[in-house]
Structure 1
Amino acid sequence: MKKITYIIAFLWTLTSIAQQTLFCNFGNIQTHDQAQIGFHLDVVNNGTFDENNGGTVGFYNQTGSLNISGDNRPTFHDMIVDVAGDLFLDVAVEVTNFQEFVNGRVQTPRDRRNVSLDYTNDAPYLGENDERYVDGYASINGDLNFTFPVGDDFRLRPISIENEAATNTARSAYFFENPNNPNFFPSNYDTNNFSSSLFGVSTFEFWDLDGDIETRVTLTWDDNSNIPTLTDNLEDLRVVGWDSNLGQWVNLGNTGATGNLDNGQITSDVIIPDNYTIITFGTSDIILDGDLEIFTAVSPNGDGFNDTFIIQGISELPNNELSIFNRWGVEVYNKKGYDNSWAGISEGRATIAKGEELPVGTYYYVLKIEGLKDRAGYLYINR
């Protein structure tokens, strides 16, 4: 109890002399088990405040904001955030045991990645929602799977990594902005420039995820993610990343997607986060079916990507027959010995409007291969 009394006396003396509402630490502060300290004003840590082996430090302001700054990163055993106008970090803050969101966000400068809310020793958190999260960068160092409580524009948009990736400090932030015109990155990331295995990339949001250890990554979406602009089938949804070496978006996979078009999550293949500048959602037009790769999207616009219906490996199976039907079951294309040449034109036997471009929409294909089972599925024409 003597320690707490001393801190309060020091605080008032400083406030009276400096004529400003802040607590400035030039010395050595340490909390022990069962200790409780509440800050109702800004904190400047120029001394030692990182040897706390117990206790709770809370930040409270029911009307305005608070700020933590200084030369040294403070480290708290337990930390409570109850600040109506948000808690702003100008220096990184570490939590080693538990952190609770009660009111307000923790805001970090998005142009300074090293200033973050740092969870270590697998410190858990509680109370996050669309109004309470880390608005900026958070980091993890531990041994368990971790979900970053990050968001932007009053939207919690978590991103998760596997336990191996947490052992060497992974860091992440969410950005509700167009990758083509990001505010806190030196480059633009053209969402029209993607690998041939992709069909589109989101223009609404992205994450920055930093880490040098392999992991699967799980992204979340809500109705503001506008997933229906990419696909109406979650099986076609992909995690995609900007590869700075290639200068394009690449497919990072889909090992599982749950939810619906308005709310859900998707998990990537195993990746090394540092290999990709930013990551977001995309859509792929590939179905792996045995030795075949079936690109289930056609965009015959002359740009060299997906101009025809491509079935990689079909040349090795020349005794085949491809039929394509519209939504009413009318055959619009048929060819024996298909050779990846169909460009969305109605032709072949028993078709309608022969020789005309087929309209944008979903079609159904049936691929018969001599001696093998038939393949069937949906494809999409987009002009």
Structure 2
Amino acid sequence: MKSFLYIPLLLLTAVVSGQTALYNNGNIRIHEEGNLGFHTDLINDSPFDDNSGLAGFYGSAITVSGSVVPLFFDVESGTDNGLFMELGIDNANNTLFITGNILTPRTQPNVYYNFLENGFYVGERNLSKIDGYAGITNQQNFIFPVGDDQQLRPLVLNSQSANLTAKCAYFFENTENPVSLSGSFNVDELDLDLEFVSPLEFWRLEGSVTSTVSLSWNARSDISALTDDATKVVVAGWSKVSNRWINLGGNPVLGSLEEGFVTSEAFIPDDYEIITLGVSKIPFEPLEREVLSLDNYFVSPNGDGINDTFFIPELLQSPNNEVRIYDRYGLKVFELDNYTDEFAGFSNVNNFVIQRDDGLPVGVYFYTIYMVDLDLNYQGFLYLAR
């Protein structure tokens, strides 16, 4: 059990609008293996960056404010009704989402939860994520754990080089006239190769490095209102230069109308005000090849000899093949050429997978198969259980 340092409120509290708050004017430091639990608001008006232990936020609701952004090594967020940020937080190592969202104001993109060069996170889910802006510093590839008050809607960023800084937020708002952003983004102002864009949701991504992104959709995205062919889904961006929606490409496109993800071609995020899901009017070459569907599979690597691995009988006809497996947000978790039955719930890709020795989380995954011998492409779903 962790032991926490509780600072006497009598010495280090301030009363703001009738509420108590811990006020830091330069007298606090978390030493290595030290733990500091915040059970009240934090007002930070002095450097709070020489920390190497754990800062935990616990209780019903906590607000972080002040004039100097604190830098914490490890962070735990366990506030039932949210950790409200009027001031940013820098995280140097691990962020553990326990319960409740970390909330930043969508009208103030300069206030964000920032993952530094070695920063990462675990525990993100629908009820515990960043509801607002997340940022990175000196990271090349990252999955932003963003969403709204109801759902986790991450964005997968893969950049050609490290981003000095980049930030992202998700908006479940009217795309044409959002309440959190100034300006409007007419969903009828489309480039020639775009047929529709989503009017329901969008992401705002800032970054100056050429990158690809993966966006996912679910039932709430209502993709079936835009198209009856999921392979035509693309990433679309509102160009700051032409003031219209531009087709940013979609390869691969995996899933169905109810759930799936798409990966863009390379672009510079700062060239676009917002990005969302769209429908291509003229499919790109990779989408022109016929993609066939196989059965949905159940994998339960529990050692009982039944469905312990991902086995596809059709591959017996094509030993020269390429198998790729992605999670529901577009993160590749497994790849193997000349596959037989090697996938047993563990990732073999050097990417964002945390605690890979424990195996991948239970849930739905997408798979793609290219049978080289037969020049056939397949896709489908698999459910991983434990």
Same fold (TM over 0.5): yes
Residue number in structure 1 paired with 2:28: 29
Residue number in structure 2 paired with 1:50: 49
**For the structure 1 residues 30 and 205, does the alpha-carbon distance in structure 2 shift closer, same or farther, using more than 3 Å as the test?**
same
Whole-Å separation in 2 of the counterparts to 1:196 and 1:58: 51
Whether the 8 Å CA contact 2:235–2:247 is kept in 1: the answer is yes
Whether the 8 Å CA contact 1:143–1:164 is kept in 2: the answer is no
Whole-Å separation in 2 of the counterparts to 1:226 and 1:140: 30
**For the structure 1 residues 15 and 25, does the alpha-carbon distance in structure 2 shift closer, same or farther, using more than 3 Å as the test?**
closer
Whole-Å separation in 2 of the counterparts to 1:238 and 1:158: 16
Structure 2 residue ranges without an equivalent (≥5) = 289-386
**For the structure 1 residues 17 and 190, does the alpha-carbon distance in structure 2 shift closer, same or farther, using more than 3 Å as the test?**
closer
Query: Which AA in structure 1 matches 2:211?
Result: T
Q: What SS does the corresponding residue of 2:139 show, helix, strand or coil? A: coil
Query: Which AA in structure 2 matches 1:26?
Result: N
Whole-Å separation in 1 of the counterparts to 2:203 and 2:234: 14
Q: Do residues 69 (structure 1) and 62 (structure 2) align?
A: no
Whole-Å separation in 1 of the counterparts to 2:207 and 2:162: 8
CA deviation after TM superposition for structure 1 residue 181, in Å: 1.3
- Choose from 110, 113, 120 the match for 1:117: 113
Q: Do residues 141 (structure 1) and 170 (structure 2) align?
A: no
1:236-287 per-residue CA deviation (whole Å, 9 max, x = no partner) reads 1110000122111010001212222222211000000000000001101213
CA deviation after TM superposition for structure 1 residue 124, in Å: 1.1
Whole-Å separation in 1 of the counterparts to 2:13 and 2:90: 26
Whether the 8 Å CA contact 2:54–2:76 is kept in 1: the answer is yes
1:22-80 per-residue CA deviation (whole Å, 9 max, x = no partner) reads 1000124221210000000000001121121x21000000xx21000001000100000
Query: Which AA in structure 2 matches 1:120?
Result: L
Query: Which AA in structure 2 matches 1:180?
Result: E
Whether the 8 Å CA contact 2:44–2:69 is kept in 1: the answer is yes
Correspondence list, 1:88-107, <5 A = 88-107=84-103
Correspondence list, 1:1-383, <5 A = 8-9=7-8, 11-15=9-13, 20-52=19-51, 54-61=52-59, 64-164=60-160, 166-288=162-284
1:271-329 per-residue CA deviation (whole Å, 9 max, x = no partner) reads 00000000001101213569xx9xxxxxxxxxxxxxxxxxxxxxxxxxxxxxxxxxxxx
Whole-Å separation in 2 of the counterparts to 1:187 and 1:15: 41
Q: What SS does the corresponding residue of 1:47 show, helix, strand or coil? A: coil
Whether the 8 Å CA contact 1:45–1:72 is kept in 2: the answer is yes
Whether the 8 Å CA contact 1:96–1:121 is kept in 2: the answer is yes
Whole-Å separation in 2 of the counterparts to 1:74 and 1:233: 47
Query: Which AA in structure 1 matches 2:223?
Result: I
Which structure has more relative contact order (CA 8 Å, sep 6+)? It is: 2
Q: What SS does the corresponding residue of 1:271 show, helix, strand or coil? A: coil
- Following superposition, which runs of at least 4 residues in structure 1 exceed 6 angstroms of deviation? 16-19
Q: What SS does the corresponding residue of 2:265 show, helix, strand or coil? A: strand
1:80-100 per-residue CA deviation (whole Å, 9 max, x = no partner) reads 000001000010101000001
Whether the 8 Å CA contact 2:139–2:164 is kept in 1: the answer is no
Q: What SS does the corresponding residue of 1:21 show, helix, strand or coil? A: strand
Q: What SS does the corresponding residue of 2:92 show, helix, strand or coil? A: strand
1:197-239 per-residue CA deviation (whole Å, 9 max, x = no partner) reads 1111110100000001000011111110011112222221110
Query: Which AA in structure 1 matches 2:273?
Result: T
**Rg larger in 1 or in 2?**
1
Q: What SS does the corresponding residue of 2:283 show, helix, strand or coil? A: strand
Whole-Å separation in 1 of the counterparts to 2:161 and 2:107: 23
Query: Which AA in structure 2 matches 1:101?
Result: F
Query: Which AA in structure 1 matches 2:142?
Result: F
Whole-Å separation in 1 of the counterparts to 2:104 and 2:40: 18
Identity %: 38
Whether the 8 Å CA contact 2:138–2:163 is kept in 1: the answer is yes
Whole-Å separation in 2 of the counterparts to 1:289 and 1:126: 37
Whether the 8 Å CA contact 1:201–1:282 is kept in 2: the answer is yes
Aligned residues: 283
Whole-Å separation in 2 of the counterparts to 1:165 and 1:180: 32
CA deviation after TM superposition for structure 1 residue 16, in Å: 8.2
**For the structure 1 residues 260 and 12, does the alpha-carbon distance in structure 2 shift closer, same or farther, using more than 3 Å as the test?**
farther
TM-score by length of 2: 0.70
Structure 1 residue ranges without an equivalent (≥5) = 294-383
Query: Which AA in structure 2 matches 1:68?
Result: V
Whole-Å separation in 1 of the counterparts to 2:118 and 2:212: 18
Query: Which AA in structure 1 matches 2:103?
Result: Q
1:125-160 per-residue CA deviation (whole Å, 9 max, x = no partner) reads 111111111111000123342000000131110001
CA deviation after TM superposition for structure 1 residue 165, in Å: 5.4
Whole-Å separation in 1 of the counterparts to 2:106 and 2:76: 22
Query: Which AA in structure 2 matches 1:23?
Result: L
**For the structure 1 residues 133 and 165, does the alpha-carbon distance in structure 2 shift closer, same or farther, using more than 3 Å as the test?**
farther
